[in-house]
Amino acid sequence: MAARTRSGMRRRGLPAVAAAAAVAFLGGCSVGIPDPAVPDTQPATRQLATPTITPGHDAAAVAARNMTFSAGTALARGVPVGLSEGLADAPKWRQTGNNAGGTTLYLKSDGCQAAAKVRVNQWPLAKGDDQESTAGLFAYLDPTILPKYLKRAALRWGGEPGKPGPMVDVLVLERAARPAGKAAVVLARVFGTAGSSVYVSVSCPSAPALAAARADVERWLTVVPPPN
């Protein structure tokens, strides 16, 4: 496993690859993450931004614990999470675009495609807790997606590559896509207190390929805890 970590931090209209994956996944529905107040996208970078000091907030302690849905209130208000670019280090994967409309794009040698994005100013999505807020994101993407269709899963929450570390709860929707035989999955989390969200979509030529690609995402792509 590579020792290095690539750290970093949609109204409508993803770039070409991401749009293709999203359309395949949702059966033709345009996909976007709402940001009606301020259309800012947190740019992807290879280094964490200069820390924002929040008095009385222990960012290191928050980063060291599992970020369950209920733990989202422990984040500093308005300080966004990030996403690593570590999937580019996974075997057979390569990065094909960075910050194209705020989305980092990846391609696997078997034809799987992935798109990862962090969105800020997500206050309109914030509801009672992060699980409810995340279900609201999926409903925004497609009103036919009911909470009962979503499953809980986890991504890495900081930590060191190749070593056990804390995890972050996400909601997942997996669905057969058109044309027949293809498959896609979306993993997402809204961090209501932080006012940001992460969104990862993966589209593959077959269900077995998707299972392998999702395992790669869960192993290599890290949600980066916000600095203090």
> Are the C-beta atoms of residues 59 and 227 closer than 8 Å to each other?
yes
Which pTM was predicted?
Answer: 0.78
Residue tagged 């509801």 (tokens): 127
pLDDT value at position 32?
A: 44
pLDDT value at position 40?
A: 44
Distance CA 106, CA 117 (A): 12
Per-residue pLDDT tens listing for the chain (228 residues): 433 444 433 333 333 333 333 433 444 333 344 443 333 444 333 333 344 445 456 778 999 999 999 999 999 999 999 999 999 999 999 999 776 667 999 999 999 999 999 999 999 999 889 999 999 999 999 999 999 999 999 999 998 877 889 999 999 998 766 667 789 999 999 999 999 999 999 999 999 999 999 999 999 999 999 886
* Exposed/middle/buried for residue 51 (C-beta within 10 Å: 0-12, 13-18, 19+): exposed
User: Which helix (DSSP H) or strand (DSSP E) does residue 130 occupy?
Assistant: helix 130-141
Residue 27, Cβ neighbours under 10 Å: how many?
12
pLDDT value at position 161?
A: 75
pLDDT value at position 59?
A: 79
The residues near 141 (Cβ < 8 Å, ≥ 6 apart) are 26, 29, 31, 32, 33, 186
User: Which helix (DSSP H) or strand (DSSP E) does residue 203 occupy?
Assistant: strand 196-204
Two tokens, residue 127: 């509801």
pLDDT value at position 178?
A: 61
pLDDT value at position 88?
A: 95
Distance CA 103, CA 2 (A): 23
